[in-house]
């Protein structure tokens, strides 16, 4: 029986393991925390990701390794790759961990990105602001996610505050200044590439965020076919350039009728959770198929779907479960501000049926504001 090792024991590892059970797979999670939610179902090791003794035990007990978040140290992935197959590759992980390397790769592949500048000092920041202008966003090159490690410069008066907030990290993780994009929509391409190079994508997903954290995702996104083709082409070029194996998400801004790449996530992704109920093969199962060298499953969508993220604490599941198209996912986490603790997916055969279920759910849960932008988009066509 094949054992899949997962570096990181969060909800993504948990959902990978749940999707792999029907395939007869076993799992082992390595996580630095004592309360990793995947460990409620999966055998686990607790160790720092740089602990060679922990990594050695992990490698000895698995047949293949993957990860559930992109902040696993790339050097640890490289160490493991000398002992056991690791997918995606440590190189892909390293590129995605560094916003400067990532955007440089996008530009080299002919993918449009917001203007950006490497920042190593306050003088660099002053020069970049003078050249790029404001508004802009100062970000850490590494370790930032869900809105962390970012400071928005709305006017020149914000430069001092931005440097005070993030300047100390210039030497350790690096900084990058990105032009602020007044986008009309944010979409993601969820893609999977197999060991033999087979490449597939799910329908594009439109996403909404609150305080930098994903709030809702709607699939399929309603976009001109030319932009859909362009977005998929971008994802394919990235996958081939990195010889990528597994699932990844490419996040894109739609601004003035053109696409601008924001970032990629080298793993299964929050915006693809709807695929569990909304597609022939979920992102989680296809990730496992890819890293194990198995044939990929169909990514065909079944109807229309919306995923609602639960942040901080869980509402009552009853209104969701009362909907025939409602599906509930509790991550087994304790409540905490800003923490992803679960999600719900509503899937329906028509846009109208999905809108009706969303409206009822939002009203019953007191989450009308969360579903409002999705309802507005569904009403457009």
Indicate the domain borders of the chain: 3-86, 115-179, 185-378
Class of domain 185-378: alpha beta
| CA distance linking residue 265 with residue 267, whole number of Å | 6
Asked if domains 115-179 and 185-378 share a fold, the reply is no
Q: Collapse the DSSP code of 249 into the 3-class scheme (helix H, G, I; strand E, B; otherwise coil) and give the result.
A: strand
Is the bond preceding residue 226 a cis peptide, omega within 30 degrees?
no
pLDDT, residue 221, reads 97
pLDDT, residue 69, reads 85
Q: What does the pLDDT profile of the chain (381 residues) look like in tens digits?
A: 899 999 999 999 999 999 999 999 999 999 999 889 999 999 999 999 999 999 999 999 999 999 998 888 999 999 999 999 999 999 999 999 999 999 999 999 999 999 999 999 999 999 999 998 889 999 999 876 656 788 999 999 889 998 999 988 888 888 999 999 889 999 999 999 999 999 999 999 999 999 889 999 999 999 999 999 999 999 999 999 999 999 999 999 999 999 999 999 999 999 999 999 999 999 999 999 999 999 999 999 999 999 999 999 999 999 999 999 999 999 999 999 999 999 999 999 999 999 999 999 999 999 999 999 999 999 996
pTM of the model: 0.95
Q: Is 257 exposed, middle or buried (0-12, 13-18, 19+ CB in 10 A)?
A: exposed
For the domain 3-86, what is the CATH code?
Answer: 3.40.50.20
pLDDT, residue 147, reads 61
Q: Which of 179, 168, 79 is closest to 131 using CA atoms?
A: 179
Q: For the chain, where are the alpha helices, taking DSSP H only?
A: 11-20, 52-61, 74-81, 90-97, 99-108, 122-132, 159-166, 225-241, 275-278, 283-292, 318-321, 351-365, 368-378
Q: Which of 47, 57, 1 is closest to 24 using CA atoms?
A: 1
SS3 content of the chain, % helix, strand, coil (to 5): 35, 25, 35
Phi then psi dihedrals of residue 197, to 5 deg: 95, -5
* Percentage of residues of the chain with pLDDT beyond 90: 88
pLDDT, residue 173, reads 83
Tens-digit pLDDT profile for residues 247-258:
999 999 999 999
| CA distance linking residue 381 with residue 158, whole number of Å | 40
pLDDT, residue 60, reads 98
Strands 64-67 and 3-7, by their bridges, are parallel
Tens-digit pLDDT profile for residues 264-314:
999 999 999 999 999 999 999 999 999 999 999 999 999 999 999 999 999
Q: Is 376 exposed, middle or buried (0-12, 13-18, 19+ CB in 10 A)?
A: exposed
Query: How far apart are the two ends of the chain, measured CA to CA in Å?
Result: 49
Spatial strand order of the sheet with 150-153 comes to 116-119, 175-179, 136-140, 150-153
Q: Collapse the DSSP code of 174 into the 3-class scheme (helix H, G, I; strand E, B; otherwise coil) and give the result.
A: coil
The architecture CATH gives domain 115-179:
2-Layer Sandwich (3.30)
Question: CB 132: neighbour CB atoms within 10 A?
Answer: 18
Please give the structure tokens belonging to residue 366. 């007191």
Q: Collapse the DSSP code of 125 into the 3-class scheme (helix H, G, I; strand E, B; otherwise coil) and give the result.
A: helix
Q: Which of 245, 243, 270, 248 is closest to 261 using CA atoms?
A: 248
Phi then psi dihedrals of residue 145, to 5 deg: -160, 160
């Amino acid at each position: 029986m094949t054992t899949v090792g997962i570096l990181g024991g969060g909800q993504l590892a948990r959902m990978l393991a749940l999707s792999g059970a029907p395939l007869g797979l076993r799992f082992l999670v390595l996580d630095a925390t004592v309360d990793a939610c995947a460990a409620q179902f999966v055998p686990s090791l607790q160790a720092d990701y740089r602990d060679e003794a922990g990594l050695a035990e992990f490698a000895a007990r698995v047949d293949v390794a993957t990860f559930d978040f992109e902040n696993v140290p790339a050097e640890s992935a490289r160490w493991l790759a000398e002992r056991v197959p690791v997918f995606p590759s440590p190189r892909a992980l390293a590129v995605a961990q560094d916003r400067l390397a990532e955007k440089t790769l996008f530009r080299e592949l002919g993918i449009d990105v917001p203007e950006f500048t490497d920042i190593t000092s306050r003088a660099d920041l002053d020069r970049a602001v003078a050249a790029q202008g404001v508004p802009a966003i100062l970000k850490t090159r590494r370790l930032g996610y869900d809105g962390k490690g970012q400071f928005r410069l709305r006017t020149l008066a914000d430069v001092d505050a931005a440097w005070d907030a993030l300047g100390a990290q210039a030497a350790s993780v690096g900084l990058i200044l990105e032009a602020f994009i007044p986008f009309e929509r944010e979409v993601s391409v969820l893609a999977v590439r197999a060991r033999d190079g087979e490449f597939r994508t799910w329908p594009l997903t439109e996403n909404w965020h609150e305080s930098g954290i994903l709030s809702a995702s709607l699939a399929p996104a309603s976009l001109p076919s030319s932009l859909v083709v362009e977005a998929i082409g971008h994802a394919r070029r990235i996958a081939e350039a990195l010889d990528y194996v597994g699932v990844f998400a490419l996040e894109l801004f739609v601004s003035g009728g053109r696409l601008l790449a924001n970032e990629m996530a080298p793993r299964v992704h929050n915006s693809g959770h709807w695929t569990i109920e909304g597609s022939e093969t979920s992102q989680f199962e296809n990730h496992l198929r890819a890293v194990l060298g198995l044939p990929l499953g169909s990514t065909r969508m079944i109807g229309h779907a919306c995923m609602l993220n639960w942040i901080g604490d869980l509402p009552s599941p009853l209104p969701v479960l009362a909907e025939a198209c409602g599906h509930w996912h509790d991550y087994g986490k304790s409540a905490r501000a800003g923490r992803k603790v679960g999600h719900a997916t509503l899937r329906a055969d028509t846009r109208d049926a999905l809108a009706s279920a969303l409206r009822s759910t939002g009203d019953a849960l007191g989450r009308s504001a969360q579903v409002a932008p999705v309802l507005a988009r569904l009403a457009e066509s």
